[in-house]
Structure 1
Amino acid sequence: MENNLFSLSKFLFCSADIYMLSRFFASIYPYKTSLKNRYIYGISVTFIIFMINSIGSSALNFTTVPICYYIFVLLLFKVSLTNGIAYTIIYFAFVGGREVLFELLYRLIIHNLPLYIPPWFTTGGVYFLTVEYFFGYLFLLYIEKYIKKINITNNNVFSWYLLIVPILSLMISSCFVYMDFPKPFSVQIFMCSGAVLLYFSNAAIFIILEKYTDMMNKIKYAELYSVKRDMESEHFKNILKINDHYRCFMHDVHSYFGSFRLLALNGENDKIVEIIDELKGKIQKETNIAIYSSNPVFNAILSERITKAKELEIEISLFVEKNIKFDFISDADMISLFGNLLDNAIEAAEKCEIGKRNVNIKVFMGTNYFLIFHIENSFSMKVKKAGDKLITSKSDSKHHGLGIGIVRSLAEKYGGSLNLIQKDDLFLTTLAVSAFTEG
C-alpha cells in the first residue's frame, strides 16, 4: 500500500513538472492545439517521464527528460524549433537550480537542527519535495507576471544569449553540492545565501534581457512603421499627381477635338497625327509615375527600384498579375523580401555592359496557394558557393550577403522557399510564399 502511494505521488510530481512547463511556455507563446489534445499530450508525456524516473538513473533522467519536454512544447505551442530548444533549456535550468538550492538548504537544516530529512525518493521525503514544488510554483508565477507583458517573437535569435546566465549559474551552484559542506555556521549561511541570490538573479536577469529584447523589437517596428508611412505617403502623392495631370488633360480635351475637327475639314491629317503624337509624349512624360499594384508598400518598393534601374540604364520588364493580395505578408517583411531581391538583381545587372543590362520581374499566383516572385537578371560574375549556399562576391563580405539569409528565413516563416540558379549569363531568383501561412 505504501509503495502504491509513493508511486502515485511520483506520478503527481511528474504531472506538476509538465503543468509548470506548459504554464511557462503559455506565458510566452500561444497554444496551437485544442484543450482536449493538451490533456492527451500532457498525460502521455507525464507517463513517459514517470517511467523514466522509475528506472532510477540520474544520467538517463538528465538526457531524456529535456527531450520529452521539448517534444511536448512543440506539440502544444506555436513556437519555432530553435526557440523551443532555447526556452526548454532555460526552463530546465530553472528546475535544476531549484533542486540544487533546496539540497543546500536541507544540508543547512540537518547540520544545525535536530531534524532528519529523508531522501526525496523515500515515502518520508515526499513531504519535503512538496514544499520544494510549491516554492517552484511561486517562482514560476513571479516570472510569469513579467514575461506575460512582453511580446516575444518566434524569430528571436537573442533567446540563445538568455541561456548563458541560467546554465552558468546552474553549473556554479551544482559545484556546491559536490563540495563538502563547511563546518562554520557563518560559512554555511554565506554559501546558502549565495545560492539563493544566484537562483533569484536568474529570474531577474532573464526578465531584464527579455524586456530589453522586447524594447529593441519595438524600436525596430517603429522604424519600419516610419518607412511604411513614408512609402504610403509617397504612393498617395503619386496618385494625386497623376490625377492632376489627367484633370488638366480632360479640361483641354474639348479644345483639342475642336482643333482636330477644323484640321480634318481642311484635309490636314498629317497635322492631326503630329499633334496626337506630341500630346501622347507629353502625357507619358508627365505621368511617368506608374501604379504597379493596389498595395501601397509593394508599389513603393517597385517604383523606387525601377526608377533606380532606369537611371543605371537597365532595361526593366515587369509583369504583376491583377488583383494579387499581399495582405498576408507584413509590411516590414514585404520590404525585406522584395526589396532585398530587387536590390541584388539591380546590383548584378549594373555590373554588365551597357546594352546587356536586363531585369525581368514577374509577380503572380503560381497556384491558388503560393505567391511567386520571379526575377531574371543579367549576370557577369561567377557565383561563389559553400556547399549549397551562395557566398557574396562583394569585398565587404562581413556586412554584405546578409540579404539572402534574411529572405531565406522569411520564406520559411511564410511556409515557402527561395531558389537561386545561375544559367549562363542569367541569374534566376524564385521566391515562393504561402498565401495561407500566418506571418
Structure 2
Amino acid sequence: MINDAFRIFEQIVIILIGFFSTYIIFYFMSRFERTLYRRKYVYVIAYLIYTGALFVAQIFGGFTLNIIVTIFGTILVGHFLYNNKKIYIFYYSLYIVAILCFNIAALPMLEAIYRLVNVDFYNVVTLNIASSVVVQFINLSATKLFIIFYGRKNIQKISRFQYFNFLVLPLFSIFYVITLLMYMQIYISIEDLILLTVNIASIIVLNVFITNVFESVSRNNELKSELLLYEQQTKMQYDYYNSLEKKYKNSRKLIHDVKNHLQTIEELYRQQDSEKAKQYAKDMDKMFDKFAQRSYTSNKVLNIILNDKIQKAEELHIFFDCKIGNADMNFIKDIDLTSIFANLIDNAIEGARKANKQKYVLLKMDKFNGSFVINIENSIDKTPATIGHKFQSSKKNHEAIGIGNVKRTLEKYEGDVRIHFSDKVFKVNIVIPEA
C-alpha cells in the first residue's frame, strides 16, 4: 500500500516539476525584451500545450526527444508570442542549451554535495525527486541571472533586493525540500505522503508568487521614478510657457513705446550727439534681447530644459556658458533627456551656488566620431562627500540619487559617464553612441 502511494507521490511530484519547469521558461521569455503581446488565454493555452508536449516526449521518446521538443517548443512560443525578431531565436536557443548543460552538470555535483555533507537517501526514487526539485530551483535563479546579464549587459548592477529574490528564497526552498524528504524516509504513511506533496507544491507556488511580487515591486519603483521625472518635465514646461507669456506681455508694452524710443534716437542724432544715440540703441537692443527665447538644439524638450536651467542660474547670479554643436539627440526619449540633463545641470547649479568665489557652470555638447559627447563643469567650494562609490547629498535628509538616475538612464543607450573632481571643480563627461 505504501509502495503504491509512494509511486503515486513520485508521479505527482514529476508533474509539479514539469509545470514549474515550463513556468521558468515562460518567465524567461516574458522578462526578456518583448515585441509581442497576445491575449492572456493564448499564453495559458500555449503553456498547457508546451507542458503536455514535454510530458509526451519524456514518456515515449526519452532524453533526446525531450531536448528537441524543449528547444523547438521554446523557439516557436518565443517567436510567435513574445519577440519575433530573428536574433531572439538565437537567444532562446542559447538559453535552453545553457540550462540543459547546467542540469547535466548539476546532478553529479549534487550527488557529490550529498556525500560531502552526509545526506543519505535510502532509495533511488527519493534521491531523484530531491535532485529534480533542487535543480528546478537552481534553474529559476540561473534564469534570473541570465535575464540581468543579457538585459542590462552588466551583471555587477545587481542590488541586494535582487540577490534576495533569486538566491535566498530558492536556497531556503532547497534546504526545506531536502530536509522533508530525508525525515520522511524514517517512517512514512499515506497521510505523510499527502502532506509531503502539499508541502512541495506549496513551496513551488511560493517561489512563483514571491518572484511575481518582487517583479511588481521593482516595476512600481520604476514607474514612481518615471512619474517624478514626468512631473519635473511638466513643471519645466509650465514654467517655460509661463515665462513666454510674461515676455509676450512685456514685449507688447515695449513695442507700444518703440515709436517714442525711435523719436528719442532721432532727436539725439539731430542734436549731433551720436555717442548717446548709439548707447541708447544698444540699451534698446538689450531690452529686446531679454524677450528672445534662445534655441540651442532642434529638440524641443532639450531647449525647454536648457532655457529653464539657464534662467535659474542667472537668477542665482551664476555664470552659465552653453556651447552646443551638432546635438540632434532625437533618438533619446524625452523622459530620458529630462533625467540626464535636468539632474546633472541641477547638481551643477547647486554646486556653483555654494562656491565661495567664481560661480559658474559650463555646458559643452557636440558630436565626435559617431558619438554625442557632453561635458558639464561647475565650480564648487569643497571636495564632494562620498560613501563608497556613491556621492552623498549635502541636503539634509536627502539622498544623492541624481547621478544614479543618470547612470541607469544611460545604460539604455549604452552610454558612459565619467566623473572628475577636485576641491574647486566638478566635471561630468558623458559619451552616448549614435543610435
TM-score of Structure 1 vs Structure 2, range by shorter chain: 0.5 to 0.7
Contact 2:301 2:334 in 1 (8 A): yes
- 2:44: which partner in 1? none
**Paired position in structure 2 for 1:34:** 87
**Helix, strand or coil for the counterpart of 1:353?**
coil
Query: What is the Cα deviation at residue 224 of structure 1?
Result: 2.9
Paired residue total: 355
Q: CA deviation at 1:196?
A: 1.9
Please say if residues 305 and 341 of structure 2, whose CA atoms lie closer than 8 Å, have aligned partners that are also in contact.
yes
1:29 shift after superposition? 7.3
The one-character-per-residue Cα deviations of 1:87-133 (angstroms, maximum 9, x if unpaired) are xxxxxxxxxxxxxxxxxxxxxxxxxxxxxxxxxxxxxxxxxxxxxxx
Counterpart in the other structure of 2:184: 180
* 2:241 match: 236
Partner of 1:409: 408
Cα distance between partner residues in 2 of 1:313 and 1:42: 57
TM-superposed deviation, 1:317:
1.6
* Aligned residue number for residue 13 of structure 1: 66
Q: Equivalent residue for 1:418?
A: 417
Give the aligned partner of residue 373 of structure 1: 374
Cα drift, residue 283 of structure 1: 2.9
Task: Return the match for 1:359 from 358, 361, 365.
Answer: 361
The correspondence for 1:317, drawn from 313, 318, 321, is 321
CA distances 1:395-427 after superposition (whole Å, capped 9, x unpaired): 86x843433333233333321211222357333
Alignment of 1:6-405 (within 5 A): 9-18=62-71, 30=83, 33-34=86-87, 37=90, 41=94, 45=98, 48=101, 52=105, 58=110, 79-81=151-153, 159-163=162-166, 164-181=168-185, 182-246=187-251, 249-250=254-255, 253=258, 256-257=261-262, 260-261=265-266, 263-285=268-290, 287=291, 290-321=294-325, 324-354=327-357, 356-367=358-369, 369-382=370-383, 389=389, 391-392=391-392, 394=394, 399-405=398-404
SS of equivalent residue, structure 1 residue 179: helix
**What's the C-alpha RMSD, in Å, of the aligned pairs?**
4.7
Q: CA deviation at 1:83?
A: 7.8
- TM-score normalised by length of structure 2: 0.63
Distance 1:435 1:413 in 2: 12
**Which deviations, in whole Å up to 9, do the C-alpha atoms of 1:326-350 show, x marking residues without a partner?**
3222333323322332233233323
SS in 2 for 1:319: strand
Give percent identity, aligned residues only: 20
Give the TM-score, by structure 1 length.
0.63
Classify 1:15/1:170 alpha carbon distance in 2 versus 1 (closer, same or farther; 3 Å).
Answer: farther
1:174 and 1:69 mapped to 2: Cα distance?
20
The 8 Å contact of residues 366 and 373 in structure 2, kept in 1 or not, is answered as yes
Change (3 A) 1:202 1:50: closer
Kept in 2, the 8 Å contact 1:15–1:46? The answer is no
Which runs of 5 or more residues in structure 2 are unaligned? 1-57, 113-130
- Work out the CA distance in 2 between the residues paired with 1:227 and 1:366: 30
